[in-house]
Amino acid sequence: MSTNRVAIVEGNLDSYLAGARPAPRLLEPGEALRPGSGLTARAAIELFEDQYLSRTLDVVARDMKRVGEGFYTISSAGHEQNAVIGAQLRLTDPCFLHYRSGGLMMARLRKLPAATPLWDTLLSFAASSEDPISAGRHKVWGSRAAWVPPQTSTIASHVPKAVGMAYSLARSRRLYLRGHYQPRPGVADAHAVLGPAHQAIVLCTFGDASVNHATALAGINAARYAKRRDKPTPVLFVCEDNHRGISVETPRRWIRDFYSNRPHMQYFEAKGTVDEIWDSVALAIQTCRTTAGPVFLRLVTERLWGHAGSDVETAYRTLEEIESVEAKDPILLNAQRLIETGAATPEALQGIVAQTRRRVAEAAKEAIRRPKLHSAAQIMAPLAPADPDAWRRAATQPIDQAQRQSVFGAHLPESVTTPTRRTLASHINHALHDEMIRHPEVLVFGEDVGRKGGVYGVTQRLQERFGEARCFDTLLDETTILGVAQGAAHAGLLPIPEIPYLAYLHNAIDQIRGEACSLQFFSNGQYSNPMVVRIAGLAYQKGFGGHFHNDNSIGALREIPGLVIACPARGDDAARLLRGALAIANESGRVVVYLEPIALYHERDLYEEGDGGWLSDYPCPDGSPDSALLPGDVGIHHPEHKDLLIVTYANGLRLSLRAARTLAAEHGIRARVLDMRWLAPLPMDAIRAHAQECGKVLVVDECRRTQAGVADSIIAELAEGAFPGRLASVRSADSYIPLGAAANLVLIGEQDIVGAARKVCS
């Protein structure tokens, strides 16, 4: 069906052009299509070239699929008026595009010397490893040189980061202009975007169906919220309204009704003739640029040939409906408009059509012969770039003491003796100070992190000391927080967002899973969004807070490809881990989760009340090799013990140390305790080595039993590695955490550890 409709739509254009008569008077190249319009005859023809190139690529994509050489057929056919946006934006306006953006990309890349949009698109259809943006990993619209980070965009999950980037541009520019930082190498044409002469806006496109996604609503809401707070957020939302999501029709006027009267966001519509669309788009862009606030543009489009090549449109549309859509084909209507206004002759448009068809078809024959991805290693190469030497060098760089004194005052954190300033929370706070000194581009933000200094005081005084531009409160939405983080990273900053509770991460986890962690993969390492996501979590808060403040599952994080997870238990480790985490993010563009056990934030004691066993001295960032911790750097307690190896982390470390004392004192079992510190990647080399020495292993995992923690993986790794000794684990129950003392009934306790240890040693 689709193929026939393709031929019919192409035939409609040919028939029209064959029968069309030139206008009585041809326009001069610089003459507008109608008085007062900004679209000249010359620009209109140029636009038609780009639009028809996009159309032809869509036709050929289906031809390629038919012969088993093409792998993507979601097309831009019917959406080509988006080329008007591509023609009018600057190359220094970053674009976050949805998948029907062929016309826009053709028009945008025209501005880039030596660009090869036709060839690049064919390579992406063919999943060639030479596809310049994703290297065959996905059909995405993207370009390093044209500042179009690749998006898959099927669920509008790119909207929050587009808003985040718009929100971050002003901060980035401010720091840049003050000479406070030089953007990392690879940030496209930073001066052009951040320099004083430019006022970049961020484009974010989506469809009328995908705008209903929670992520889209969150992003648009965040942009309006920022505007309400007078924060510059120049983002141009373009809803390409084709009135349908796959088979489901969008209610009439849905987009207009919902978005045309939203406070703190201007609304425009682009519809009608190509020159009318041109002028509406111009106004929307100008408004966004001059007001530095969010603008919503509804661009009326049509969807030709179904959702994708595999979509049988006749299953939900009548032939009459299909034909009525085809009659509104923008290529056909633009051809009519150009000829009737005298902007072009039928012969000129026929020439464009013929030449474009020919060259795309010929180029496709070559494109399908280009190399494909050939090994898992090649595919995964950009997923998790690792340079441990560089990480260690960066993480152990000393920080200038004079600068530290100017921030901390006379009492540097390493010299304090007050117990309340030697806790886990305090040392994370100190380490955040140090990293903000070390990296002027570091931003700390989240709910309540600014003036209040965090729910648990972890970010105290950061705003006061480093200013609102670098430490700020966001609205109460985790999706937005992670969107801002990605956007800030795109703008060259180094974000440390805070998710207040682990349970709330799941509200927004796709921003890490589907977006942040996939960026290097889908851009073949050309784009990265380095960040350290601080998440307060895990249980043992003495019955307070219930499940949502005591969530004990990291399963959803552990399965994300490329994600690094650091998890401190003690204050001194926390500082050193944060340095490592920042270095991994900054040096390799990685996304790192820094999981903070809430119950240990203010814990002072280990064995007895008042023993101060959980307090620690702050490790000075003095350049010493042990001033930072990297993946694989585990903590070993009781290294002289050899009866049993207890492998654990976070609250489990404190519980295990207490249990180890009981085991030694009461049962004669001398257990060595290994603090993993890193939960992804797992420090298996160290675990194996210590397991070998101790002969028996007990994994103490405070997360829920079934795939919520790390125990299954560690046991499986050891078993598959033919570890000869006994293996056991204790894990919490597969339950949500109840309120009050009942919480302890579903969490592992010291006695569980003691019991399991005795059993494994029996």
Partner 1 sequence: MSRVAIVCPGRGSYTEATLRSLPPEHEFVQAAEKLRADYGLESLLALDGAPRFEPARHLRPAHVSALIYTASMIDAQKVWADHEVVCVLGNSMGWYTSLAVAGSLSFEDGFHLVQRMALWQETGVAGGQLIYPLVNEDWQPVPERKAAALAAIAAHPGQLFLSIDLGGYLVLAGSDAGLAAARKALPPVQQGGVPYPLRLAQHGPYHTPLAQGVSDAAVADLSGLPMALPRAPMIDGTGRCWSPWSSDLEALRRYTLVDQVIKPYDLRAGIAVAIKEFAPERLMLLGPGNTLGGITGQVLLAETWKGLKTRDDFRAHQAGPDAMVVSMGLARA
**CB neighbours (10 Å) of residue 296?**
25
Q: Is the Cβ–Cβ distance between 104 and 270 less than 8 Å?
A: no
Smaller CB distance to partner 1: residue 351 or 740? 351
- Residue type (1 letter), 137: R
How near is the Cβ of 124 to partner 1 at its closest, in Å? 13
How near is the Cβ of 32 to partner 1 at its closest, in Å? 15
Smaller CB distance to partner 1: residue 323 or 366? 366
Strand-pair partners of 244: 249
Q: Is the Cβ–Cβ distance between 444 and 533 less than 8 Å?
A: no
Smaller CB distance to partner 1: residue 43 or 710? 43
Smaller CB distance to partner 1: residue 347 or 734? 347
Which residues, other chains included, contact 740 with Cβ-Cβ below 8 Å and sequence gap of 6+? 543
In what order do the strands lie in the sheet containing 95-96? 95-96, 202-207, 235-241, 295-300, 266-270
Query: 196-213: b or e for each residue (b if 16 or more CB lie within 10 Å)?
Result: eebbbbbbbbbbbbbbbb
Kindly state the tokens that stand for 660. 């180890």
Distance, in Å, from the CA atom of 652 to the CA atom of 365, rounded to the nearest integer, reads 60
How near is the Cβ of 69 to partner 1 at its closest, in Å? 16
How near is the Cβ of 122 to partner 1 at its closest, in Å? 9
Q: Is the Cβ–Cβ distance between 236 and 266 less than 8 Å?
A: no
How near is the Cβ of 16 to partner 1 at its closest, in Å? 17
**CB neighbours (10 Å) of residue 24?**
6
Distance, in Å, from the CA atom of 273 to the CA atom of 270, rounded to the nearest integer, reads 9
Angle made by CA atoms 612, 617, 619, in degrees to the nearest 5: 155
Distance, in Å, from the CA atom of 101 to the CA atom of 76, rounded to the nearest integer, reads 6
How near is the Cβ of 692 to partner 1 at its closest, in Å? 45
Three-class secondary structure assignment of 104-142: HHHHHHHCCCCCCHHHHHHHHHCCECCCCCCCCCCCCCC
Q: Is the Cβ–Cβ distance between 84 and 47 less than 8 Å?
A: yes
Comparing C-alpha atoms, which of 595, 575, 579 is closest to residue 587?
579
Distance, in Å, from the CA atom of 444 to the CA atom of 469, rounded to the nearest integer, reads 9
Distance, in Å, from the CA atom of 523 to the CA atom of 140, rounded to the nearest integer, reads 9
Rounded to the nearest angstrom, the gap between the alpha carbon of residue 197 and the centroid of all alpha carbons in its chain is 29
Smaller CB distance to partner 1: residue 55 or 298? 55
Smaller CB distance to partner 1: residue 42 or 461? 42
How near is the Cβ of 187 to partner 1 at its closest, in Å? 21
How near is the Cβ of 191 to partner 1 at its closest, in Å? 18
Distance, in Å, from the CA atom of 674 to the CA atom of 647, rounded to the nearest integer, reads 5
Smaller CB distance to partner 1: residue 252 or 369? 369
C-alpha dihedral sign at 519, 557, 431, 384: negative
Smaller CB distance to partner 1: residue 133 or 686? 133
Smaller CB distance to partner 1: residue 45 or 733? 45
Kindly state the tokens that stand for 539. 């249980």
How near is the Cβ of 727 to partner 1 at its closest, in Å? 51
Distance, in Å, from the CA atom of 226 to the CA atom of 285, rounded to the nearest integer, reads 19
Smaller CB distance to partner 1: residue 228 or 359? 359
How near is the Cβ of 128 to partner 1 at its closest, in Å? 12
Smaller CB distance to partner 1: residue 371 or 740? 371
How near is the Cβ of 44 to partner 1 at its closest, in Å? 8
How near is the Cβ of 371 to partner 1 at its closest, in Å? 8
Smaller CB distance to partner 1: residue 365 or 759? 365
How near is the Cβ of 119 to partner 1 at its closest, in Å? 4
How near is the Cβ of 113 to partner 1 at its closest, in Å? 4
| Phi, psi dihedral angles at 297 (to 5 degrees) | -115, 120
How near is the Cβ of 324 to partner 1 at its closest, in Å? 30
Distance, in Å, from the CA atom of 462 to the CA atom of 469, rounded to the nearest integer, reads 11
Smaller CB distance to partner 1: residue 103 or 492? 103
In what order do the strands lie in the sheet containing 564-566? 471-473, 442-446, 494-499, 531-537, 591-597, 564-566, 678-680
286: left (phi over 0), alpha (psi -120 to 50) or beta: alpha
**Residues near partner 1 (CB under 8 A):** 29, 42-43, 45-46, 48-49, 110, 113-119, 344, 348, 351-352, 355, 358-359, 362-363, 365-366, 369
Smaller CB distance to partner 1: residue 117 or 453? 117
Q: Is the Cβ–Cβ distance between 78 and 301 less than 8 Å?
A: yes
Comparing C-alpha atoms, which of 305, 400, 359, 381 is closest to residue 622?
400
Smaller CB distance to partner 1: residue 44 or 127? 44
Distance, in Å, from the CA atom of 235 to the CA atom of 291, rounded to the nearest integer, reads 10
Give the three-class secondary structure for 219: helix
